[in-house]
Amino acid sequence: MQQPEQRDEVEMLSLMLLIRRFEERASQQYQAQKIGGFCHLYIGQEAVIVGAVAAARPDDYLITAYRDHAHALARGTSPDACMAELFGKVTGCSRGLGGSMHYFDREHHMYGGHAIVGAHVPLAVGMAFASKYREEDRVTLCFFGDGAINQGSFHEALNLAALYKLPVVFICENNLFAMGTSVARSTSLKQIVDRAEGYDIPGTVVDGMNFREVRDKLSEVVEEIRRNPHPAFVEIRTYRYRGHSMSDPASYRTKEQLEKYRMDDPITRLRAQLAREGKLTNEEFDRRDKAAKDTALASVKFAEESEEPPLEKLYDYTYVNGAGA
Ligand SMILES: Cc1ncc(C[n+]2csc(CCOP(=O)(O)OP(=O)(O)O)c2C)c(N)n1
C-alpha cells in the first residue's frame, strides 16, 4: 500500500504532466488556427503552481496574471472547460468570452486570469481583506511575473497589505523575462525578494524547478499566515521554455540558457526523485503520461464539438447592463 504522502506526490506529478500535455495540445491547435487571440504557455514552470496548490487548501483564494492555464488546471477546472475557453466556445470556463488570458472558476476559487500587468495585485489585497473581515481563515495566493514588480499598483497593494496585516502570499514567478526584457535590465535590485523588505513583509526565495521545495516552503508560509494573519512574499525562480507568447521566437536569450533549465526540468526531477525512492516505476510513469495525453486530446475534441456563444451574447459581462447600457 502506498503511504498517503507518496501517493500525493505521484498525483502531483500527474497534475504536472496534465498541464504540460494540455499546453502542448493548445500550442498545436493555436498553430492550426483553431485558437485566436493571445496565448501564453507555462511550460517549464509547472512545479510552481502544483507545489503551491499542494501547500494550500482548496478553499484558499487564488488569483493570477494572463499565463493562467496551469493555475486553473491545478485548481481542478476541467481540461475540457479550459480547452473550450481557448476555442472561444460556450462550454469554456469563462463561457467562451474570456479566452486564454481570462480563465475564471469561482467554484474552485480561481479568480482569474488578468491581462493587465500588475492590475490584479490590488484585487488580491481586496480578497484577503474580505476573508479577514469575515473572520475566515483563508489565505489568498497572488501570482504575478517579474514584470509586475515595478508597477505602481504592486507597490500600493503591498503597502496596504502590510498596514492591514492581510492574509496574502505575493508569489513572484521570476522566469527572468518580461516579454523580451530581462530582469537585469528592468529592476534595480540584485534579487527581487528584496522588494518586500521596503514594506516590512517577510520574503523567501524558492527554487521553482523543484516541486518539493516549492510545496514545503510555501506550506510553512501559508500555515504561519493562517495562524497569524499577515502578508508574505515569495520569489520563485523558474523558467519558461517557450517564447513570451505564441508569436515570440525568443531571440533575446541563448540556446545554452534554455538548455540549462531544460536539463533541470521539474517533471523529470520529481520523476527521478520518486523513482530513486522506489515510489514510481517506469511503467507507472508511462501510464500516467499516456492518461495526461489522452485527456488533453479529448479536451480538443470536446472544444471542437462545442457551440460558439450566440452573437447576441457579445457584450454580456463586458458592461453591467449589456449592449444597451
Ligand atoms: C500595464 C501593462 N503594460 C504592458 C503590458 C504588455 N505586456 C503584456 S505581458 C508583459 C510582460 C509581463 O511579464 P511578467 O510580468 O514577467 O510575466 P511573464 O510573462 O513572465 O509570465 C507586458 C509588458 C500589459 N499587458 N499591461
pLDDT in tens, 201-233: 999 999 999 999 999 999 999 999 999 999 999
**Average pLDDT over every residue of 140-167:** 98
Judge if the beta carbon of residue 148 lies within 6 A of ligand 1: yes
Does residue 319 lie in a domain region? Answer: no
Q: How many domains does the chain have?
A: 1
pLDDT tens per residue, range 156-171: 999 999 999 999 999 9
Whether ligand 1 lies within 6 angstroms of the CB of 179 is answered as yes
Copy the grid coordinates of residue 171. Answer: 508569489
Is position 156 within any domain? yes
The preferred substitution site among 179, 192, 240 for testing ligand 1, maximizing ligand atoms within 8 Å of CB, is 179
Ligand 1 binding pocket includes 208 (Cβ within 6 Å): no
Residue 321 has pLDDT above 70, yes or no: no
Average pLDDT, the chain: 95
Q: Is 186 in the pocket of ligand 1 (CB under 6 A)?
A: no
Confidence (pLDDT) at 42:
98
**Residue 193 has what DSSP assignment?**
G
Backbone angles phi, psi at 8, to 5 degrees: -60, -40
Q: What span, in angstroms and rounded, lies between the C-alpha atoms of 252 and 82?
A: 30
Find all residues with CB under 8 Å of 95, minimum gap 6, and list them. 309, 313, 317
Question: Do 235 and 174 form a contact (C-beta atoms < 8 A)?
Answer: yes
Tell whether 116 is covered by a domain.
Answer: yes
- Most ligand 1 atoms within 8 A of CB, residue of 117, 149, 192 to mutate: 117
Which protein residue's CA is at the shortest distance from atom 4 of ligand 1? 117
Q: Give, as one character, the DSSP assignment of residue 60.
A: S
CA-nearest of 38, 168, 57 to 109 is: 57
pLDDT for position 325: 40
Cβ of 92 closer than 6 Å to ligand 1, yes or no, is no
First CA to last CA across the chain, in angstroms?
61
CATH of the domain at 237: 3.40.50.970
Residue 273 within any structural domain of the chain: yes
pLDDT of residue 55: 97
18 located within any domain: yes
pLDDT, residue 228, reads: 97
Domain boundaries, position 189: 4-314
**Band (322; pLDDT cuts 50, 70, 90):** low
Q: Identify the band that residue 315 occupies on the pLDDT scale cut at 50, 70 and 90.
A: confident
Evaluate whether 51 touches 211 at the Cβ level (below 8 Å). Answer: yes
For the entire predicted model, the pTM comes to: 0.96
- In-domain check, residue 190: yes
CA of 147 to the centre of ligand 1 (A): 6
Maximum Cα interatomic distance, the chain, rounded to a whole number of Å? 63
Residue 278 lies in a domain: yes
CB 33 within 8 A of CB 80: no
Residue nearest (by alpha carbon) to ligand 1 atom 13: 178
- Ligand 1 centre to CA of 178 (Å) is 6
Does the Cβ of 69 fall within 6 Å of ligand 1?
A: no
236-268 pLDDT, tens digit each: 999 999 999 998 999 999 999 999 999 999 999
Report if residue 71 sits inside a domain.
Answer: yes
Look up residue 82 and give its three cell numbers: 479550459
The alpha carbon of 117 and the centre of ligand 1 are apart by a number of angstroms equal to: 5
